[in-house]
Amino acid sequence: MSTPFSTPEEAEAAFYDAIERADLVALDAVWSTDENIVCVHPGASRIEGRTAVMQSFELMFAEAPILDFSIVDTLYTGNDSLAIHLVREEIALDGQVVSIMVSTNIYQMEDGGWRMLLHHASPEPDSAFHDELDDFQSFDGTGYDDLDDELDEWEEPARPPVLH
Please write the tens of the pLDDT for every residue from 76-129.
Answer: 999 999 999 999 999 998 889 999 999 999 999 999 999 999 999 999 887 644
Domain residue limits at 94? 8-123
Same domain for 118 and 130?
A: no
Residues 13 and 64 in one domain: yes
Whether residues 106 and 40 share a domain: the answer is: yes
Structural contact between residues 124 and 101, judged by C-beta atoms closer than 8 angstroms: yes
- pLDDT average, residue stretch 28-54: 95
pLDDT band at 162 (very low <50, low <70, confident <90, very high): very low
Residues 118 and 141 in one domain: no
Query: Which pLDDT belongs to residue 152?
Result: 53
- Gap between the Cα atoms of 41 and 104, Å rounded: 11
Q: Considering the domain boundaries, does residue 2 fall inside one?
A: no
83/48 same-domain check:
yes
Looking at the structure, tell me whether residues 51 and 131 fall in a common domain.
Answer: no
When pLDDT is cut at 50, 70 and 90, the band that residue 136 belongs to is: very low
Are 91 and 15 in the same domain?
Answer: yes
CB 26 within 8 A of CB 14: yes
Q: Can you name the residues that pair with 69 across neighbouring β-strands?
A: 91
- pTM comes to 0.75
C-alpha span between 19 and 41 (Å, rounded): 13
Percent of the chain with pLDDT over 70: 74
* 153 and 74 fall within a common domain: no
CA–CA gap between residue 11 and residue 29 (Å, rounded): 9
pLDDT at 138: 33
The answer to whether residues 14 and 93 belong to one domain is yes
Interior angle at CA 9, CA 31 and CA 4, nearest 5: 45
Domain count across the chain = 2
State the DSSP code for 41. -
* C-beta atoms surrounding 92 within 10 Å: 13
C-alpha distances in angstroms, 98 versus 30, 119, 124?
A: 26, 20, 12
Task: Give the HSE-up count for residue 90: Cα atoms under 13 Å, Cβ half-sphere.
Answer: 9
Query: Is residue 117 a contact partner of residue 42, using CB atoms and an 8 Å limit?
Result: no
